[in-house]
Amino acid sequence: MRKYFGTDGVRGVANVELTPELAFKLGKSAGYVLTKQMSEQTSRPTFVVGKDTRISGPMLEAALISGLTSSGVNVIQLGIVPTPAVAYITKQLANGGVMISASHNPYQDNGIKFFNQDGYKLSDTVELEIEYYLENLNEVPTYSGGELGTILPYNNAANFYVEFLKNSISTDLRGLNIVVDCANGAASTVAPTLLESLGANVHILSSSPDGVNINVDCGSTHPEQLQKKVVEVKADLGLAFDGDADRLIAVDENGNVVDGDQILYICAKALRSKGMLTNQTVVSTVMSNFGFQKALNELGVNSVQTNVGDRYVLEEMINKGYTLGGEQSGHIIFLNLNTTGDGILSALQLASIVKESSMTVTELLSGFKKYPQQLVNVKVKDKKAWENHPSIRNAISEAEITLSGNGRVLVRASGTENLVRVMVEADNSDLVNKLVTSIANEIKKS
Helix axes 343-357, 83-93, angle to 10 degrees: 100
As a whole number of angstroms, the distance between CA 258 and CA 106 comes to 23
Categorise residue 160: left if φ over 0, alpha if ψ from -120 to 50, beta otherwise. Answer: alpha
Query: In 36-123, which residue ranges form alpha helices assigned H by DSSP?
Result: 57-70, 83-93
By the 8 A CB rule, do 291 and 407 touch?
no
By the 8 A CB rule, do 218 and 276 touch?
no
66 catalytic? Reply is: no
Identity (one letter) of the amino acid at 135?
E
Identity (one letter) of the amino acid at 110?
N
Categorise residue 272: left if φ over 0, alpha if ψ from -120 to 50, beta otherwise. Answer: alpha
Torsion of CA 203, 157, 8, 17, to 10 degrees: -100
Choosing from 29, 103, 188, 284, the catalytic residue is 103
* 256 class by beta-carbon count within 10 Å (0-12 exposed, 13-18 middle, 19+ buried): middle
Question: Residue 246 CA to chain centroid, in angstroms?
Answer: 5
By the 8 A CB rule, do 331 and 315 touch?
no
As a whole number of angstroms, the distance between CA 83 and CA 128 comes to 22
Torsional sign, CA 326, 331, 332, 334: negative
**Closest listed residue to residue 332, CA positions, set 324, 446, 438:** 324
By the 8 A CB rule, do 361 and 353 touch?
no
By the 8 A CB rule, do 247 and 191 touch?
no
List % helix, strand, coil for the chain (3-state, nearest 5): 40, 20, 35
For residue 345, count other CB atoms closer than 10 A to its CB.
26
HSE value, Cβ hemisphere, 13 Å, CA-based, for 176? 34
Identity (one letter) of the amino acid at 249?
I
The residues facing 379 across adjacent strands are 419
Active site residues: 103
